[in-house]
Amino acid sequence: AQSVTQPDIHITVSEGASLELRCNYSYGATPYLFWYVQSPGQGLQLLLKYFSGDTLVQGIKGFEAEFKRSQSSFNLRKPSVHWSDAAEYFCAVGPNAGNNRKLIWGLGTSLGVNP
Amino acid sequence: DTGVSQDPRHKITKRGQNVTFRCDPISEHNRLYWYRQTLGQGPEFLTYFQNEAQLEKSRLLSDRFSAERPKGSFSTLEIQRTEQGDSAMYLCASSWGGEPQHFGDGTRLSIL
């Protein structure tokens, strides 16, 4: 079965601390992997994606993620968190070929940032 | 690039009423997706259009739900005889080919 697991429902970090949000997936084919961020009442903004090539990908707002095929993981990291990073973070997986690129989503991780 | 636009942002209606939502994708995008998101959950796929053709519908999309994309531009999602369980955020996304999907801000539906 295809699925995405984000083990941490909620994480709180102090401003300036480093951050790692976990994502594990189960997918039959080679996946296309994404991290999106959602602020309250808003839509989803793409942070970064992995399709192929270098397994460490850089995104917007200082985020990066590393694809580890052996662990079926795609964890999101940021070296120094800012208060404005408080939001809901979603990991998603989709096919890297074909017409319908529908995404399968994790339940999200809510990030709180202490001043 | 004006982004994906959804209207209305909020809709409150009584149970049993019909509602219609509109999505205007990014103009050159040929693919359009509808997702539904309930509180504390990730989005769930509802349906997908390539140009004007609706190519896939989720089992979540009961016969009370219908979506259209006339002329391959904007799309509408209609829910007939709304039920309490339809309360959710309805998200629209568009993309060009296999590129990442761009999302609108969603329509939040509340059923009284």
* Interface touch A42/B95, C-beta < 8 Å: no
Angle at B8 between CA B7 and CA B13, to 5 degrees: 145
Q: Is A54 helix (H, G, I), strand (E, B) or coil?
A: coil
Contact yes or no for A43 and B101 at CB 8 A = no
> Which chain A positions have a beta carbon within 8 Å of B95's beta carbon?
101
Enter the DSSP assignment of A9: S
- Name every chain B residue with its beta carbon within 8 A of the beta carbon of A37: none
Cβ distance B100 to A41 less than 8 Å, yes or no, reads no
Task: Give the per-residue pLDDT at B23.
Answer: 98
The per-residue pLDDT for B1 is 54
- Residues above pLDDT 70, as percent of chain A: 100
d(CA A104, CA A69): 18
Mean pLDDT of B7-18: 97
Residue-wise pLDDT tens digits, B17-66: 999 999 999 998 999 999 999 988 999 999 999 999 999 999 888 899 99
pLDDT digit string (tens) for A10-34?
A: 999 999 999 999 999 998 777 899 9
Shortest Cα distance, chain B CAs vs residue A56, angstroms: 18
Is residue A50 within 8 A of residue A74, CB to CB? The reply is yes
Residues A43, B40: C-beta atoms closer than 8 Å: no
Q: Using an 8 Å CB-CB cutoff, list chain B residues near A31.
A: none
Cβ-defined contact of B42 to A46 (cutoff 8 Å): no
* CA dist., res. B72 & res. B108, Å (int): 24
Q: Is the Cβ pair A44, B103 closer than 8 Å?
A: yes
| List of chain A residues whose C-beta atoms are within 8 Å of the C-beta of residue B40 | 107-108
- Residue position matching structure tokens 């009370």: B64
